[in-house]
Copies of this chain bind each other. A is one copy, B any other.
Amino acid sequence: MTIRPLADRVLVKIEEVQEKTASGIYIPQTAQEKTQIGTVIAVGEGTDKVKVTVKVGDRVMHDKFSGTSVKADGQEYLILSMKDILAIIE
């Protein structure tokens, strides 16, 4: 069973807070932070106006208070629009 996002939407699995990444960059996800990091699970086909420029597996940074949360298999997901995704974390 799959959640297939429509239009310019993207399904994202929210990452657990991590203190420090392997490479040393530290992107805290505390309550004060406005951004959150997640992994792209599925993407929509885009629209004439908005292309989907992230792909499955990308780690993305998004505005913490954007999107619609859905729960599936005990895991929390977010359905985000492309405009809510600020950057890809590589």
Q: Is A61 an interface residue (CB 8 A)?
A: yes
Q: Is the pair A24, B1 in contact by a Cβ cutoff of 8 Å?
A: yes
Q: Is the pair B9, A72 in contact by a Cβ cutoff of 8 Å?
A: no
Question: What is the number of residues of chain A that contact chain B, defined by CB distance less than 8 Å?
Answer: 42
Contacts of A34 in B (CB 8 A): 68-69
Q: Is the pair B1, A23 in contact by a Cβ cutoff of 8 Å?
A: yes
Q: Is A45 an interface residue (CB 8 A)?
A: yes
Q: How many copies does the complex hold?
A: 7
Q: Is A14 an interface residue (CB 8 A)?
A: no
1/0 contact string of A42-72 vs chain B (CB within 8 Å): 0001001100011000000101000011111
Q: How far is the CA of A86 from the CA of B88 in the complex (A)?
A: 22
Contacts of A1 in B (CB 8 A): 21, 23-25, 89-90
5 closest A-B pairs by beta carbon, nearest first, are A1-B23, A1-B25, A4-B88, A2-B90, A5-B87
